[in-house]
Amino acid sequence: MLGTLLVREDEAGRRVGRIVETEAYGGPEDLASHARFGSTVRNAVMGGPAGIAYVYLVYGMYDCLNVVTGVPGSPSAVLIRAVEPLAGVDVMRAARLAVERRRRRVREGAATVAARDRLAAIPDRHLARGPGLVGACFGVDRTWTGVDLCAPSSALRLEPDPTAADGRAATPIVAGPRVGVGYAGEAWASVPWRFSLAGHPSVSRAR
DNA sequence: ACAACGATCAACT
DNA sequence: GTTGATCGTTGTC
């Protein structure tokens, strides 16, 4: 998935981001995965066909976009952790501001102006530098769970990078431990299933 | 019905 | 390096 494009196309315009950072999550044996409790209402789509969106809410605030990757019956998914904005940057900024307003339950006023100023100071390459920010930039929330990300007709979808000969990343790929999964225990927390394009500025900060 | 906690981010010190 | 915001999901009773 690294190097492929995340595309959202709707009335607001066309948003495109290049995937630069991902994390892989397995089935019940993977104690860091949402599938560790088996199939539940929340994670049901993880056990379905590949290419489907699985969006969950973390920390009561941020929507994170995953792509189901396994065969039916073997739950697994890949979290899109960061994206390099390539098009529709203005729409992304507007979407981030909308999320911020909703979070703070503010419509207009000083708080909104402050939020807009903070956002204006953020360079394009850092707009979607983290899984919660990817969701915010692309206006994706849990209701998008189930969308077919491989269907050209979907408003949210994956596309091969047309500038890459084989549609994949040419840059070297770095692997390391997944972020924020200490609860899974040393064995699973240390598995190097976080992948990113080496040295890319849109990759989220390591912890 | 209840309590605990998390695949995060921004604003602090 | 630390902390607060915020709520759905899950396991337990």
Would you say residue A111 has pLDDT above 80?
no
Spanning CA of A69 to C1' of C6, the rounded length in angstroms is 30
Spanning CA of A4 to C1' of B3, the rounded length in angstroms is 42
What DSSP element (H or E) covers A93?
helix A89-104
The pLDDT tens digits of the residues spanning A180-203 come to: 999 999 999 999 999 999 999 999
Q: What is the pTM of this model?
A: 0.96
The pLDDT tens digits of the residues spanning A128-181 come to: 999 999 999 999 999 999 999 999 999 999 999 887 766 566 789 999 999 999
What DSSP element (H or E) covers A159?
strand A156-159
Spell out which residues of A between 142 and 201 contact strand C, using CB within 7 Å. Answer: 142
The pLDDT confidence band at residue A55, using thresholds 50, 70 and 90, is very high
The least confident of A69-73, A76-80, A148-152, A169-173 is A169-173
Residue A97 CB partners (closer than 8 Å, separation 6+): A112, A115, A116, A119
Is the C-beta atom of A42 closer than 7 angstroms to strand C? yes
DSSP-assigned beta bridge partners for residue A108: none
Would you say residue A207 has pLDDT above 80?
no
Nearest nucleotide over every DNA/RNA strand to the A34 CA, judged by C1': B7
Q: What share of chain A is helix, strand, coil (3-state, %, to 5)?
A: 25, 30, 45
- With the C-alpha atoms ordered A96, A85, A161, A207, is the resulting torsion angle positive or negative? negative
Is the C-beta atom of A195 closer than 7 angstroms to strand B? no
Is the C-beta atom of A58 closer than 7 angstroms to strand C? no
Assess contact for A32 and A25: CB atoms under 8 A: yes
Spanning CA of A63 to C1' of B12, the rounded length in angstroms is 24
In A26-139, DSSP assigns E strands to 53-58, 62-68, 77-87
DSSP, res A83:
E
Share of chain A above pLDDT 90, in %: 85
The pLDDT tens digits of the residues spanning A25-34 come to: 999 999 999 9
Is the C-beta atom of A204 closer than 7 angstroms to strand C? no
Spanning CA of A120 to C1' of C7, the rounded length in angstroms is 29
